[in-house]
A and B are shown apart, each in its own frame.
Chain A
Amino acid sequence: MSMRRLVLALAVVLAPSAYAADPLRLGKPVPADVVAAWDTTVFPDGRGLPQGGGTAEQGRAIYDAKCSNCHGPEGRGETAEELVGREIPLTDPDTAQTIGSFWPYATTLFDYTRRAMPMDKPGSLSVDEAYAVAAYLLQLNGVVAPGDVMNAQSLPKVQMPNRDGFKRIDAK
């Protein structure tokens, strides 16, 4: 390497603006099918909900087998929190923040059940099973009827009782 080329090379390496002028581009482009396989985000408007579905009647057996050990029969709480009940208003000091009394979106219930439950085997429920368990818990809370099918179309339309109960503080 000639001295002139060496000086030039050093100048490029040492120039403070090198990052801005020629940023590192070490991120690897991802094919669309890989993105789709990783993308499990579910939104309140239903975007991200997969095809499939289930009813409360189907969900009951799954809940009894895989959920009731911790959450108790009919979601009334055991070692894990209670999931059902909206008899006591949220203004009462003895209230319980259940799915029916507190959760603002039914889509969240499907998403969390599918990704995180049951805790000894998270992610093990099939899409249909997750919809069915969500339907059962919504039915126990009196939000949907026993025969209602919960799926990508119906779940975002479920009107949760506490939908408007939240005030955003540090973000719009």
Chain B
Amino acid sequence: MAGSRDSDDVLQPAAGGGLLHRRALLSQGLILATATAAAPAFAGEPAVSQSADPLDPHPASLTTPGAPFSPYGQPSQHERRIMRAVGSNADVPGNGVSWTPLEALEGIITPSGLHFERHHNGVPAIDPRQHRLMIHGLVRQPLTFSLEALQRYPMQSRLLFLECGGNSNAGWHAEPIQRPVGSFHGLVSCSEWSGVPLAMLLDEAGVDPQAQWAVVEGADAGALNVSVPLAKLREDCLVALYQNGERLRPEQGYPMRLIVPGWEGILNVKWLRRLHLTAEPAMSRDETAKYTELQPDGTARQFTYVMEAKSVITSPSAMQRLKDKGFYEIKGLAWSGRGRVARVEVSADGGKSWTDAQLQDPVLPRCFTRFRAAWNWSGEPAILKSRATDETGYVQPERETLVAERGRRGYFHYNAIVAWAVADDGTVSHVYA
């Protein structure tokens, strides 16, 4: 096993349940041993067909010319099973979601084709030459901007997470849902978004001092609209034209979308076509009937914009199975709509004891942060948890605390600590613990 080749002090426990000191991850020999030992350990991985003998010194790839160039690269055929899980309305196929398969991904960037989707009535077909963004209402001069015009403005790029306000809503259920982590918590993704700072366009239109909001509208079926506070729009919002270096995908708002860093997904209006500057919010359906949270006292929280600090262990996670006891890297994602992740702690004994996970650089504001921790599984049942703290000092709450405060009818903004139970046979399941 990995541990036998390194000094014993690295393998001193850091907390209960087999959590090891962070230095275990820094030991070169151990990292290599871990990566190779952990990779095949999960049952159900796709079988990669190689030559019959893995030690064949002359595999066919060495002596056969390879495939020609491709105009647009695709994932390996062996990775075809890595895809978004789709949940939609049988009567309205374009009304629903698709989840990012968080369990299958590494690092902090979500491939654009695996970015989660939430559409209210499908992905519209838009001719970029005909598309216009209109800014009107409480402005000196109503304006329209073509895509060609926007391309000429100075742009900014930001690495940002984007999370649906309804992400993780199964956490409110009375019983813990059993699904892969991506199909439970995967209405969050992380991309580099590039585009024109909205403040520049607002200044060009000349915003009236009475304006406090903009009613933002998309060009999709039903013309989804929500009100966004003007101060936020001026502070750091972008009219994004690019995602991860290429033009937006159709399902991400092509040719332009609003990016509202750290705030709930619904405000990041896709297929952006209109900003109506106003003194008051419109009280549209998606800021009154929906995207509000009913509380136990019968009132509802409204305009809950900030996605609070959250973390989840992506491996090991529900529906996976550990094949052998021994060394594993616990890894996951943390993020906060208020800024940087300051700390992620992990526990292997259900929260009785905790140790700090290693935060992988870069740690950026309102962006995914990848965390890692070393774990020696004894083969006994264990309960894994992660707990994020952001730079404002906000600490991700236990589920019990969140439910005590908000009840179970709020649907949106579930950010409690997630617990994965590892059984003695290595199966991993979702538990409330």
Contacts and interface: CB of A to CB of B under 8 A. Distances in A.
Given A93-B408, A170-B306, A29 B143 contact: yes
Contact of A30 (B121, B134, B301): B134
A23 B200 contact: yes
A135 B407 CA distance: 33
Given A30-B134, A167-B300, A25 B204 contact: yes
Taking chain B's interface residues, is the majority helix, strand, or loop, or is none over half, making it mixed? loop
A30 B276 CA distance: 13
A123 B96 CA distance: 20
B136 A116 contact: no
A90 B294 contact: yes
A90 B304 contact: no
Interface in A39-87: 39-44, 70, 79-80
Contact of A39 (B276, B294, B302): B276
Nearest to B407: A93
A122 B222 contact: yes
A104 B288 contact: yes
9 contacts: A30-B136, A79-B90, A103-B289, A105-B283, A115-B222, A119-B95, A120-B92, A123-B223, A169-B304
A111 B304 contact: no
Given A28-B145, A41-B282, A165 B203 contact: no
Nearest to A70: B91
A27 B289 contact: no
Interface stretch (B31-39, B149-157, B360-368): B149-157
Which are the 5 A-B pairs with shortest beta-carbon distances?
Answer: A27-B143, A116-B222, A26-B149, A112-B285, A90-B298
A23 B121 CA distance: 38
A91 interface: yes
Given A30-B143, A79-B91, A122-B121, A108 B285 contact: yes
A110 to B, nearest CB: 11
A70 to B, nearest CB: 6
B200 A43 contact: no
Interface string B359-389: 0000000000000000000000000000000
Contact of A166 (B121, B135, B292): B292
B215 interface: yes
A122 B221 contact: yes
Interface residues of B, number: 62
A34 to B, nearest CB: 8
B283 A171 contact: no
Nearest to A109: B285
Interface in B262-280: 274, 276, 278, 280
Nearest to B228: A171
Contact of B278 (A23, A43, A70, A79): A43
Given A38-B136, A97-B289, A122-B222, A169 B302 contact: yes
A136 interface: no
Contacts of B284: 108, 111-112
Contacts of A19: 154
A162 B204 CA distance: 40
Given A102-B300, A171-B229, A27 B288 contact: no
B288 A108 contact: yes
Interface in B207-232: 215, 217, 221-225, 229
B326 to A, nearest CB: 45
Contact of A38 (B222, B274, B305): B274
B302 A108 contact: no
A171 B120 CA distance: 24
Contacts of B304: 169-170
Contacts of B82: none
A151 to B, nearest CB: 19
Interface in A121-172: 122-123, 165-171
A35 interface: yes
A23 B283 contact: no
Interface centre among A24, A42, A111, A168 (most CB of B within 10 A): A24
Contact of B282 (A38, A42, A70, A104): A42
B297 interface: yes
A26 B223 contact: no
Contacts of B281: 171
B144 A30 contact: yes
Interface string B292-323: 10101111111111100000000000000000
Contacts of A28: 143-146, 149
A103 B283 CA distance: 10
B298 A91 contact: yes
Contacts of A167: 299-302
Contacts of A104: 283, 288
B288 to A, nearest CB: 5
B243 to A, nearest CB: 23
A29 B141 contact: yes
Contacts of B217: 41
Contacts of A123: 221-223
Given A35-B136, A70-B91, A90-B294, A43 B280 contact: yes
A122 B144 CA distance: 24
